[in-house]
Amino acid sequence: MFLKNCVNFLSVFVLFISVNVFAAGPYTSKQSDLHESSERKKNLVDFDVSGSAGNYNGQSYTEVHAGLNLNFTDWLTWRNSIFKRLTAGSSQELTGLDSSIRLEEEVGPIKLFAGPGYRWASDSTKNAFLGEAGASIGVGRISLGVGGKYLRYDQAQYDAGGAEIKRDDFSYFVTISGGAGLSF
Residue 38: predicted pLDDT: 61
**What is the rounded CA–CA span in Å between residue 122 and residue 29?**
41
Predicted confidence band at 124 (pLDDT cuts at 50, 70, 90)?
A: very high
Q: Is residue 16 part of a domain?
A: no
Residue 42: predicted pLDDT: 78
Cα dihedral 119, 169, 134, 62 in deg (nearest 10): -80
Residue 57: predicted pLDDT: 82
Number of structural domains in the chain:
1
**What is the rounded CA–CA span in Å between residue 101 and residue 125?**
23
pLDDT in tens, 64-92: 999 999 999 989 999 999 999 998 877 77
**What is the rounded CA–CA span in Å between residue 116 and residue 6?**
18
Predicted confidence band at 132 (pLDDT cuts at 50, 70, 90)?
A: very high
Residue 179: predicted pLDDT: 56
Q: Is residue 12 part of a domain?
A: no
What is the average pLDDT across 161-177? 90
Residue 65 lies in domain = 44-178
Give all strands (DSSP E) within the chain, no chain letters: 28-31, 36-39, 45-56, 59-71, 76-87, 93-107, 110-121, 128-139, 142-153, 157-158, 164-165, 168-178
pLDDT at 9 over 60: no
pLDDT at 103 over 50: yes
Q: Is residue 90 part of a domain?
A: yes
pLDDT at 161 over 60: yes
pLDDT at 20 over 80: no
> What's phi and psi for 43, nearest 5 deg?
-65, 150
Mean pLDDT value across the chain: 80
Which CATH number goes with the domain that contains 101? 2.40.160.20
Q: Is residue 7 part of a domain?
A: no
Q: Is residue 17 part of a domain?
A: no
Q: Is residue 131 part of a domain?
A: yes
Q: What percent of the chain has pLDDT over 70?
A: 74
Q: Is residue 2 part of a domain?
A: no
Element holding 7 (H helix, E strand): helix 2-24
Q: Is residue 6 part of a domain?
A: no
Choose among 134, 82, 130, 148: nearest CA to 104: 134
Between 30 and 146, where is the model more confident? 146
